[in-house]
Amino acid sequence: MPKRVGIEVSLAASEAACAADTDVVAAYPITPQTHIVEHLSELVADGKLDAEFVPVESEHSAMSVCVGSSAAGARTFTATSSQGLALMHEILFIAPALRTPIVMVVANRALSGPISIWNDHSDIMAERDVGWIQTFAENGQEVFDLIIHAFRVAEDPEVLLPIMVNLDGFTLSHVIEPIEMLSASEVKRYLKPYKPQMVLDPKKPVTMGPVGMPEVYTEAKRQIEALLQGSKKVVVKAWKEFAKHYGRTYKPIETYRMKGAEVVLLTMGSVSETAMTAVDRMWDKGMRVGLLRFRLWRPFPLQEFRRAMRGVKVLAVMDRAISYGGLGGPVFTEVRSALYGTFEQPQVFGFVAGLGGRDITVDMFEEMVKKAIRYAKRGKGPTYEMIGVRER
Amino acid sequence: MIEIRVHGRGGQGAVTSTELIAIAAINEGKYAQAFPSFGPERRGAPVMSFARISDAPIRTREKVYKPDIVMVLDPTILSIVDVTAGLKKDGMVILNTAKEEGEVRKAFGIKAKMALVDATGIAVKHLGRPITNTTMLGALIKASGVVNIKSMKAPLQDRFGRIAEKNFNAMNVAYKQTA
């Protein structure tokens, strides 16, 4: 029986990597990911996890070691945040190209400047296009489960791509809450040992990562794109299998009280729980508001999203990152693009909120919804605006 | 749902106190959250930490703005922080002080319900150090009944190992002495 315990979400993330019997951990500590890496080094030092822990001197090296160890056939895990993720940037593109199924937890945090150690989604949104599968957790239970799920999907021979599991720094990573922890033996039933298709081995040499001449580069890029798009069915299947084993059901998109909703709020990550409370409160006041949340962000679940949006007239999208000089937050622009040309194209309004640790409250969600309704009635509004900005 | 805010100074264990009470509640089969006021650790500076305890799943990640219970680990906080800010109408302040209730009310203008205990005195006697976080939990449990005091034993053991018993004793003394 899985054990229900009160545990800090960061530690649960490490325990998940441990239960998955990770072979190599290469990581550099950075707030607010620190507790994940600390606990993993403890687990290795205490002999609870039989893994090579590589204490590198930077995140650039961390990701380089991960690519190398994964190419050598080792189940590989790492975690980072913010500036650390940014420092990995150039290596992030290489991991999918080399078909290295690395699992990385990103404790989402703002990017400098000004320096901020607090939560938003600036870090991950700057890495949207690196070719990794990306999922977002709402609570501690999901963090644990998505990490186990990530290994299964990443190592599937039809996928062999790296995955980032996103969790909100501090607002989720540093919270103690009840989590059902699966033991290593329980995880083993779902997650089989990694069988690499090809390994770096001096006895049987292969070349990984050669130059892509103009004659092959386009084809290589198209392959990665096809793999990433095609991974969705494996992602979904692995969630179905997860439900069979452990009873918890996950889907690419989660909806809440959408039936009869006039307006829909769109969120990602742990604030979706606060948004649910806001939605309940608004229904109590006679406002018909639904909630839609992306659990899977890459590959973008286009059909599921369009299906969920059928009949919706107004959509209020909340972004936790700003796209300087652009048309709105990254989620907003993408979501609006996804709805372009659909039969009942809803009116879409973007809101940027909760930057650099600014608390996102039930009141803020109500403000976004009210504004979206007002703009929709008027037939126009700002394409996007920032919420909770102090003017004085 | 009961929302708790703890005031202390960095290094006094405010964060640990909310963690321990949340774990005890979860072990009782309840739902709970505990989290610090996020940021760099600053020894000696006023800090806060938060907990929520509920019979139903907790679906919010806001900070605690309207606590039911405020627990103050360090009496010197009272002169620099308004510990009653946002306190619910029938909320309660649980205070570490050696002073009489009337004296405290007069000095800091606190009108809310109060529970007082000389946690520093108890901690010095039983732990040999003026660290009051575990001691104050005894007062919190006596005044609020959010968990059974026996449920604190396991989380204290996990957290403190060989000094767990001392902490449990200090907590029990505070539980008995809280008025």
Distance from CA of B64 to the nearest CA of A (A): 10
Could you give the dihedral angle defined by the CA atoms of residues A206, A209, A212 and A218, in that order, rounded to the nearest 10 degrees?
Answer: 110
**What pLDDT shows up at residue A123?**
98
Confidence (pLDDT) at A263: 96
Mind telling me how many Å the CA of B35 is from chain A's nearest CA?
A: 5
Long-range contacts of A378-381 (CB under 8 A, 24+ apart): A379/A347, A381/A349
Q: Is B26 on the interface with A (CB under 8 A)?
A: yes
Q: Do A359 and B62 touch (CB under 8 A)?
A: yes
DSSP-based three-state secondary structure for B119: helix
For chain A, the helix, strand and coil percentages under 3-state DSSP, each to the nearest 5: 40, 20, 40
pLDDT of residue B40: 72
**So what's the pLDDT on residue A128?**
96
Per-residue pLDDT reduced to its tens digit, A222-245: 999 999 999 999 999 999 999 999
Model confidence at A383, pLDDT cuts 50, 70, 90, reads: confident
Per-residue H/E/C for A202-259: CCCCCCCCCCCCHHHHHHHHHHHHHHHHHHHHHHHHHHHHHHHHHCCCCCCEEEECCC
A245 vs A254: CA distance, rounded Å: 20
Angle, vertex CA A118, rays to CA A388 and CA A89, nearest 5: 115
The amino acid sitting at A340 is: Y
- What is residue A55's predicted lDDT score, i.e. its pLDDT? 95
In this predicted model, what pLDDT tens digit does every residue of A338-367 receive, in sequence order?
999 887 889 999 999 999 999 999 999 999
pLDDT tens string A138-188: 999 999 999 999 999 999 999 999 999 999 999 999 999 999 999 999 999
Does residue A26 contact residue A54 with C-beta atoms inside 8 Å? yes
What distance in Å separates the CA atoms of residue A50 and residue A70, rounded to the nearest whole number? 16
DSSP summary character for residue A254 = E
Cα–Cα dist B73/A83, whole Å: 36
Q: In what order do the strands lie in the sheet with A289-294?
A: A253-256, A289-294, A263-267, A314-319, A347-352, A384-386
Closest CB to A362: pick one of B22, B33, B62: B62
- Joined tokens for residue A106: 């990103």
Is some CB atom of chain A closer than 8 A to the CB atom of B147?
no
Burial class (CB in 10 A: 0-12, 13-18, 19+), A162: buried
**What does the DSSP 8-state code read for residue B77?**
G
CA nearest neighbour of B152 among B15, B19, B24, B53: B24
CB atoms within 10 A of CB A16: 28
Sheet holding A163-168, edge to edge: A52-55, A24-27, A76-80, A103-108, A163-168, A133-136, A296-298
Tokens (6 digits) for A220: 């290589």
DSSP string across A288-331: -EEEEEESEEES--HHHHHHHTTT--EEEEEESS--TTSSS-HH
Cβ distance A361 to B62 less than 8 Å, yes or no, reads yes
pTM: 0.97
- Tell me if residue A203 falls in helix, strand or coil: coil
Residues in A touching B61 (Cβ below 8 Å) = 171-172, 175, 270-271, 273-274, 360
Name the percent of chain A lying above pLDDT 70: 100
> Do residue A274 and residue B23 have CB atoms under 8 angstroms apart?
no
Q: Do A6 and B32 touch (CB under 8 A)?
A: yes
The tokens for B63 are 């900070």
Looking at the complex, does the CB of residue B23 fall below 8 Å from at least one CB of chain A? yes
- Cβ density class A277-299: b for 16+ within 10 Å, e for less: bbbeebeeeebebbbbbbbbbbb
B74 at A interface, C-beta within 8 A: no
C-alpha span between A224 and A215 (Å, rounded): 16
In angstroms, the CA A336 to CA A315 distance is 9
Tokens coding A386 = 């920032």
Mutate to test the interface with B, among A176, A364, A365 (most CBs of B within 10 A): A176
Q: What CA–CA distances, in Å, run from A359 to A146, A206, A353? A: 25, 51, 9
Cβ–Cβ < 8 Å for A168, A266? no
CATH class of segment(s) B2-177: alpha beta
Residues in chain A: 392
Q: What is the pLDDT of residue B179?
A: 78
Work out the average pLDDT over A112-119: 96
**Within a 13 Å sphere around the CA of B114, how many CA atoms are in the beta-carbon half?**
21
The CA radius of gyration of chain B, in Å to the nearest whole number, is 15
Closest Cβ opposite residue A176 in set B22, B61, B62: B22
- Residue A392: pLDDT band with limits 50, 70, 90: confident
The 10s digit of each residue's pLDDT in A5-37 is: 999 999 999 999 999 999 999 999 999 999 999
pLDDT of residue A330: 97
Beta-bridge mates of residue A298: A134
Q: For residue A244, how many other CB atoms are within 10 A of its CB?
A: 10
Residue B76 forms contact with A (CB below 8 Å) = no
A166 three-class SS? strand
Does domain A253-386 fall into CATH 3.40.50.300? no
Alpha carbons within 13 angstroms on the beta-carbon side of residue A369 total: 28
Provide the CB-side half-sphere exposure for A367 (13 A, CA): 14
Rounded CA separation A282/A366 (Å): 7
Q: Which residues of A touch B56 (CB under 8 A)?
A: none
Residue recorded with tokens 């369009």 = A306
A85: tokens are 């993720």
pLDDT under 50 in chain B at which residues? none
In chain A, alpha helices (H): 9-19, 34-45, 59-71, 82-92, 94-97, 122-125, 140-154, 184-188, 214-246, 271-284, 302-308, 330-339, 362-378
E-only strand ranges, A184-256: 253-256
Closest CA to A272 of A119, A137, A127: A137
Strand (E) or helix (H) holding A68: helix A59-71
Task: Output the six-digit token pair for A258.
Answer: 């959408």
- Each domain of chain B, given as residue ranges in start order, spans 2-177
Q: What is the pLDDT of residues A62-74, one digit of tens each?
A: 999 999 999 999 9
pLDDT tens, A284-293? 999 999 999 9
Which CATH number fits the domain A3-246, given the four candidates 1.10.12.10, 3.40.50.970, 2.40.50.1020, 3.30.2010.10? 3.40.50.970
Structure token pair of residue B110: 């606190």
Question: Residue A216: its pLDDT value, please?
Answer: 97
Element (H, E) at B94: strand B92-96
pLDDT at A341: 87
Torsion, CA A38, CA A39, CA A45, CA A49, rounded to 10: -140
All residues of chain B having their beta carbon less than 8 Å from the beta carbon of residue A171 are 35, 38, 61
Interface test with A, best of B59, B146, B152 (most A CBs within 10 A): B59
The alpha-carbon gap from A6 to the nearest alpha carbon of chain B, in Å, equals: 5
> Which residues in B lie closer than 8 A to residue A176 (C-beta atoms)?
18-19, 22-23, 32-35
Which residues of A fall within a CB distance of 8 Å from B23? 5-7, 176
Q: Is residue A326 very low, low, confident or very high in pLDDT (cuts 50, 70, 90)? A: very high
Interface check for B59 against chain A (CB to CB < 8 A): the answer is: yes
Q: What is the CA radius of gyration of chain A?
A: 21
Q: Counting Cβ atoms within 10 Å, is residue A47 exposed (0-12), middle (13-18) or buried (19+)?
A: exposed
- Please indicate whether, in this complex, the C-beta atoms of A175 and B25 are within 8 angstroms of each other: no
